[in-house]
Structure 1
């Protein structure tokens, strides 16, 4: 379920310390009900994610088009990435986060881990269009249980990046996020401890 940005901004997440110059674009309650110690399971599920596994044919097509355009137009050139076009967010970390866990490597998603705590994971990606941050959190819900929460923070690369984010907005909200949320819930349920 889509949440207001305040569901992210009103919480004391550590990402606020290192990415105050990024705009919150999306916040989602993840269909991942669990207990207080289930966050590591969510982290591993995301680390193994793949845009090609989306159950929606439209979403898979949109991702395929995006990756093809990125290759043709050089949007995803490594020189436009983290540590090249943009400095690594790890360079902004306070000492306690820098000395703590980084988080898992991503198998098929273009993210670089930044930090991991007991209830928060932050990863980043960059290309010629944007510098983006994926933040996962583990939150207590109104019923006393726990669930995941995902926030997407973005710093567009100039006017082109702003236009790109505006152009993909309707596609993200209509065709990408709804099936992604269903897929996250299905995988969570399928891999639940017996």
Structure 2
């Protein structure tokens, strides 16, 4: 479910210290019935076990188109990424925070910045944007704990701003609803010994 920006900005998360020059693009929530304040690591583990990214046909098609365009137009060349076009945010972190970064699954386009008991951040950079996916654990309006995802971006010039505006409908109508189904199902099935459907 889409949330207002304040659902992210009013939380006392560490990410705010390092992304003041980024724009908050989206805030989305994922229901985790029965979760408590200490269950964020369990949610992250469930997401990884479920494959993290949804595998339904529309989402696979959109990502296939995106990666194909990236190859054709050079958006994903080595010179457009972290440590080349942009300085990784992880380099801004104090040592005790940078030391909590985890190894992400092979093939992930993201790099881990840090992982704490109630939040985690991953970053990515290419020819269009430098972006952060922030995952946080917060108490919702109904008193239950839920996962919140925020997307923070620094577009690469006018084209980057156009790109983010162009893909907004696809994010909101296809990608985020698919993520919602996949991640909420991963939470429900984490202890059931089921193979999460995608």
TM-score by length of 1: 0.90
Match of 1:30, SS state, is strand
| Count of residues in Structure 1 that have an aligned counterpart in Structure 2 | 191
Distance in 1 (CA, whole Å) between partners of 2:31 and 2:137 is: 12
After superposition, the C-alpha distances for 1:170-192 in whole angstroms (9 at most, x for unaligned) are 11111111122111111221113
Distance in 2 (CA, whole Å) between partners of 1:109 and 1:138 is: 22
- Tell me which residue corresponds to 1:162: 161
Matched ranges for 1:179-194 at <5 A: 179-192=178-191
- Tell me which residue corresponds to 1:5: 5
Distance in 1 (CA, whole Å) between partners of 2:106 and 2:2 is: 26
After superposition, the C-alpha distances for 1:156-177 in whole angstroms (9 at most, x for unaligned) are 0001100100110111111111
For residues 41 and 17 of structure 1, do their structure 2 counterparts lie closer, same or farther at Cα, with a shift above 3 Å needed?
same
Unaligned runs of 5+ in 1: none
After superposition, the C-alpha distances for 1:63-95 in whole angstroms (9 at most, x for unaligned) are 110011111111111221111111111111134
CA shift, 1:103, in A, is 2.8
Preserved CA contact (<8 Å) 1:123 1:135: yes
Matched ranges for 1:1-194 at <5 A: 1-33=1-33, 34-47=35-48, 49=51, 51=53, 53-55=54-56, 57-98=57-98, 100-192=99-191
Unaligned runs of 5+ in 2: 194-198
For residues 159 and 45 of structure 1, do their structure 2 counterparts lie closer, same or farther at Cα, with a shift above 3 Å needed?
farther
Superposed CA RMSD: 1.8
TM-score by length of 2: 0.89
CA shift, 1:59, in A, is 1.7
